[in-house]
């Protein structure tokens, strides 16, 4: 059964979340601050993390950033309090999978958790390896190299590249990319897609200013050619 880590400093909310997760048949535990959340996530290897944004010791963004930097691709749903000024785009760029606003409707949250876990299951090991130019991308292992040197790509950048590659040269709109890679529960912003395209070009194209593989289709979006 999937393991879910709750990182939430408000004890009453954490308790409600854990109780409901246990009731739904998940394994669940809660920690109350960011640093502890990061440590527990790395040690316990949960299948999904519910991560509050405003936390003692280390905020949710930083936890997310450090997890991704350590190569953890664990799905993350960020929790925000209503009225809290949060940068949703930043969270999505750091690799969060979804946002939920507190107070959390339990049924809605459970549906989101199932959706996020299902998206993960849809990406089984496929042996998918893409090579173009000097770049080699192993999608199962989330490893990218250029000229044999490891380059860092965010999990979402891998997702965008894989989608473009699997679309076999067809142009995709930014909205299609958002829907496929981030899921339907997203705050659509073309900037999010454009930033990931820029990341891919900067890391993988020989000349990012004159991309030969990750191409802009003016007025439409992007397409990939090997
Ligand atoms: Ca909080």
Half-sphere exposure of 66 (CA within 13 A, CB side): 15
CA atoms within 13 A on the CB side of 210: 2
77, 96 contact by CB (below 8 A): yes
**Ligand 1 center–CA 203 separation, angstroms:** 35
Determine the Cα–Cα distance for residues 223 and 217; give it in Å rounded to an integer.
7
CATH number for the region 3-122 comes to 3.40.50.2300
Under 8 Å between Cβ of 147 and 199 = no
Distance from Cα 36 to the centre of ligand 1, integer Å: 14
pLDDT digit string, tens, across residues 39-77: 999 999 999 999 999 999 999 999 998 988 887 888 999
Report whether 99 contacts 91 (CB < 8 A): yes
pLDDT tens digit string along 140-199?
778 899 999 999 888 889 989 999 998 989 999 998 898 888 765 555 577 889 999 999
- CA-closest candidate to residue 196, choices 133, 180, 185, 146: 180
Residue 34 Cα, ligand 1 centroid: separation in angstroms?
Answer: 10
pLDDT digits (tens, 9 = 90+) for 64-73: 989 888 878 8
Coil, strand, or helix at residue 163? Answer: helix
CA of 99 from ligand 1 middle (Å) equals 14
How many Å lie between the centroid of ligand 1 and the Cα of residue 10? 6
Q: Mean pLDDT for the chain?
A: 87
- CATH number of the domain at 130-224, please? 1.10.10.10
Close Cβ partners of 66 (under 8 Å, ≥ 6 residues apart): 38, 58
**Among 171, 169, 134, CA closest to 149:** 134
How far, in Å, from the CA of 32 to the mean position of ligand 1? Answer: 9
116-145: average pLDDT: 80
What DSSP state is assigned to residue 136? E
Rg (CA), the chain: 18
Q: What is the per-residue pLDDT for 123?
A: 47
pTM of the model: 0.58
pLDDT level of residue 221 (50, 70, 90 thresholds)? very high
- Count of CB atoms within 10 A of residue 199's CB? 19
Distance 59 CA to ligand 1 centre (A): 9
Q: Stretch 193-209: mean pLDDT, rounded?
A: 95
Residue 94 confidence (pLDDT): 75
3-122 and 130-224 in the same fold: no
The answer to whether residue 203 scores a pLDDT higher than 50 is yes
Reading across the β-sheet that carries 76-81, which strands appear in turn?
Answer: 27-31, 3-7, 48-52, 76-81, 98-102
Q: How far is the centre of ligand 1, averaged over its atoms, from the C-alpha of 189 (Å)?
A: 26
Q: Give me the pLDDT at residue 126, please.
A: 64
Q: What is the C-alpha to C-alpha distance for residues 222 and 172, in angstroms, rounded to an integer?
A: 5
Task: Please tell me the distance between residue 196's alpha carbon and the centre of ligand 1 in angstroms.
Answer: 29
102 CA to middle of ligand 1, Å?
10
Residue ranges per domain, the chain? 3-122, 130-224
Distance CA 178, CA 176 (A): 5
């Amino acid at each position: 059964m999937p393991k879910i880590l709750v990182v939430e400093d408000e004890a009453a909310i954490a308790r409600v979340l854990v109780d409901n997760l246990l009731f739904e048949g998940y394994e669940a535990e809660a920690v109350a601050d960011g640093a502890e959340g990061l440590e527990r996530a790395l040690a316990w290897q949960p299948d999904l993390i519910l991560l509050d944004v405003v936390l003692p010791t280390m905020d949710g963004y930083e936890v997310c950033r450090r997890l991704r930097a350590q190569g953890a691709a664990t799905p993350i749903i960020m929790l925000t309090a209503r009225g809290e000024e949060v940068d949703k785009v930043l969270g999505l760029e750091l690799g969060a999978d979804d946002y939920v606003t507190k107070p959390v409707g339990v049924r809605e949250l459970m549906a989101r958790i199932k959706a996020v876990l299902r998206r993960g299951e849809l990406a089984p090991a496929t042996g998918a390896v893409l090579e173009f130019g000097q770049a080699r991308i192993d999608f199962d292992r989330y490893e990218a190299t250029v000229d044999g040197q490891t380059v860092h790509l965010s999990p979402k950048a891998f997702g965008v590249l894989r989608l473009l590659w699997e679309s076999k040269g067809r142009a995709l709109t930014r909205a299609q990319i958002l829907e496929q890679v981030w899921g339907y529960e997203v705050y659509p912003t073309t900037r999010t897609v454009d930033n990931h395209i820029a990341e891919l070009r900067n890391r993988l194209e020989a000349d990012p200013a004159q991309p030969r593989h990750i191409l802009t289709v003016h007025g439409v979006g992007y397409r990939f050619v090997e």
